[in-house]
Amino acid sequence: MSDALAVCELELTRTWQSRAAVLAAFITPLAWLLLFGLAFDQGLGVRVGAIGYMAFISPGLVAMLGTFSSLGSGQGIGRDRDTGFLKEMLVAPVSRLSLVAGRGMSVALLALGQALLVLVLVALVGGGLPLPYGALSVLGAAAVLGLLCMGFLGAGLAIAVRSPNATTYQATIGVLTLPMFFLSGALVPISKMPAALQAAAYVNPMAYGIDALRTLLLGEAYSAFPLPLAVLALCGFALFTLGFGARNLTAKA
């Protein structure tokens, strides 16, 4: 555990040293909510169920931010392999899992910070979130977000360890992210998507993360899957990707 904390601390230091990355991490949610969400919400008057569009997409945005930074952090392990810094960690008396978990913790912390910003913004200008379970809604959502981050960190890592170089990795991630986002139900309820796209959403791990967040933050009426099923799917996804990634984590490509 202290090993994972050491890695987490290092990751936060590295993130903090890149001011542009920190700035981007907090401007992106602002842009989505205020420039995109607000336009649909108040410009077009779009509502989903009893809530405004901005509030509706906020769980999806939180999940998207966590997903993308987790994939990026998984890629960071690949970058550490390319620069050789990974060797320093692999030869230390530290388990591979704690190397990965430490990164996961740092990326989850960042995602939680972004989520907090989103919640506050929606409360201020988007009519607020229903939070059907009160404080438990928030704690549960934080846990789901952490789980989602672990899963996609593992996915990023799995792709990184299987890619011969950074270019291949980035191309693979680039091809995956946007379709995954649009097929996740982040912007449109899954039930309103065409049948073929709905089927695609069912095999999209991001969709389960967003759905669980919606159950917790908006209420069951806004979700497509029962919460236990979504959480189970996320657990399975995280275990698979982290296991695969950590097992294939070696010094050389």
* Residues found near other proteins in the complex (CB under 8 A): 2-3, 6, 9-10, 13-14, 17-18, 80, 83-85, 87-94, 250-251
Measured from the CB atom, the residue of 92 and 120 that comes closer to other proteins is 92
Amino acid at 43: G
Would you mind telling me the total number of residues written for the chain in this entry? 253
What 3-state DSSP class applies to 117? helix
Measured from the CB atom, the residue of 1 and 195 that comes closer to other proteins is 1
Min dist. Cβ of residue 242 to other proteins (A)? 20
Measured from the CB atom, the residue of 55 and 100 that comes closer to other proteins is 100
The answer to whether the beta carbons of residues 183 and 97 sit under 8 Å apart is no
Residue whose entry in the numeric block shows the structure tokens 């991001």: 206
Measured from the CB atom, the residue of 192 and 247 that comes closer to other proteins is 247
Min dist. Cβ of residue 85 to other proteins (A)? 4
What 3-state DSSP class applies to 135? helix
Residue whose entry in the numeric block shows the structure tokens 């939070």: 131
Min dist. Cβ of residue 97 to other proteins (A)? 13
Burial-class residue 158 by CB neighbours within 10 Å (0-12, 13-18, 19+). buried
Measured from the CB atom, the residue of 34 and 94 that comes closer to other proteins is 94
Measured from the CB atom, the residue of 178 and 252 that comes closer to other proteins is 252
Distances (CA, A) of 88 to 80, 93, 99, 251: 10, 10, 11, 9
How many CA atoms within 13 Å lie on the side-chain side of 165?
A: 1
Min dist. Cβ of residue 16 to other proteins (A)? 11
> In whole angstroms, what is the distance from residue 159 CA to residue 88 CA?
21
Min dist. Cβ of residue 19 to other proteins (A)? 12
Min dist. Cβ of residue 98 to other proteins (A)? 10
Min dist. Cβ of residue 174 to other proteins (A)? 24
> In whole angstroms, what is the distance from residue 72 CA to residue 68 CA?
6
Measured from the CB atom, the residue of 88 and 220 that comes closer to other proteins is 88
Amino acid at 86: L
